[in-house]
Structure 1
Amino acid sequence: MNEQSVFALWPILAFLSIGGGIATMVFFAAIVTPTAFQSLGEEAAGPFVRALFPVYYLFFLILAGLATLFALLAQAEFAALLLALVTGGFAYGRFLLTPAINTARESEDRSVYKKLHRRAVIVNIVQIAGFVLAILLIAGQF
């Protein structure tokens, strides 16, 4: 493998990691969560979904971190910066937001829970938008 083909590999890996991230996030929000609540009922689905979120955020923390690295190696610096912010959002979700949501849920403080849940949804939407913008930036570079 020559240097040029290795250089061409980085944007491909960035596309795959970002595209996989977008698809998985949309699948989780549009299919997994609603299906869990419809199939299991709120009593069982709530704990099930709350158990998934730490794993969800850790998975995406790693995936977005790799996407950031691949964008850097593809010399797509602005996309890499954007992806680093998306990665930071997953760290925030994993280490700060999810524990706060779980604490609010366990204390049955509905107003705090709703506020934090809304924040999590907004962060997720912003992250998807960040992924989409990053993939467009990388595509426009090549």
Structure 2
Amino acid sequence: MTCSQRRAHCGVGGQPHLRGRMILSGIALLATALLLGGMVFFAVAVAPLVFTRLPPDQAGRFIRQVFPLYYLWVLGLSAVAAVALWPLRLWDALSMAAVAALTAWLRQGLMPRINALSDAAQAGDAAAKGRFDRAHRLSVILNAAQMLAALVVLLRFA
């Protein structure tokens, strides 16, 4: 079968041919699996271990160094998944794009605010403690929503 016959057989007009679809699907599956696996590992192993094994001041400093890298991991893999899914499954691609966009805001917007509120609370600002708790709770909820989105996309590969 020639290339033009294969394209006619497998579809054109914006749809990648079968081999291309398989490659994109494999990339999306790998990126989504690594994304969810990394997020779950961080949430259930790394963060709890840090806060149970290190003194509170060291744990806080360590987590502040890890979170920017964690967010880059989530941002990169969700963006790769979104791009790979775009020609295959639009809603899954949009879901992963939303995870990436939310991660950018969490990393560049909410994380610095949480750090500043934590510093203020440790310096004795009682009002900052309540605001820190709310901002931290929001970040946990949004992270859980991102994990759920990744899980749904991953399960749709089954």
Give secondary structure in 1 for the equivalent of 2:46: helix
- List per-residue Cα deviations over 1:50-106 (Å, max 9, x = no partner): 121112112211111011001114x21110011111111111111101000001011
The aligned counterpart of 1:133 is 152
Which residue, 16, 24, 41 being the options, matches 2:55? 41
Summarize the alignment of residues 25-104 of structure 1 with structure 2, pairs less than 5 Å apart: 25-73=39-87, 75-104=88-117
Q: Which amino acid aligns with 2:107?
A: R
The aligned counterpart of 1:6 is 20
How far apart, in 1, do the equivalents of 2:141 and 2:119 lie?
22
Return the offset for 1:35: 0.8
Aligned pairs, number? 137
Gaps of 5+ in 1: none
Deviating above 6 A after TM superposition, structure 1's stretches of 4 or more consecutive aligned residues are none
How far apart, in 2, do the equivalents of 1:79 and 1:6 lie?
18
The aligned counterpart of 2:136 is 117
Determine whether 1:20 maps to 2:38: no
Determine whether 1:107 maps to 2:107: no
How far apart, in 2, do the equivalents of 1:19 and 1:67 lie?
10
For the pair shown, the structure with the greater C-alpha radius of gyration is 2
How far apart, in 1, do the equivalents of 2:109 and 2:32 lie?
23
Would you say the 8 A contact 1:64–1:83 is kept in 2?
yes
Bigger RCO (CA 8 Å, 6+ sep): 1
Return the offset for 1:5: 2.0
Q: Which amino acid aligns with 1:107?
A: A
Q: Which amino acid aligns with 1:122?
A: I
Return the offset for 1:4: 2.5
The aligned counterpart of 2:11 is none
How far apart, in 1, do the equivalents of 2:55 and 2:43 lie?
17
Would you say the 8 A contact 2:71–2:103 is kept in 1?
yes
Would you say the 8 A contact 2:25–2:84 is kept in 1?
yes
Quote the sequence identity (%).
29
Q: Report the aligned-residue RMSD.
A: 1.4
How far apart, in 1, do the equivalents of 2:73 and 2:116 lie?
22
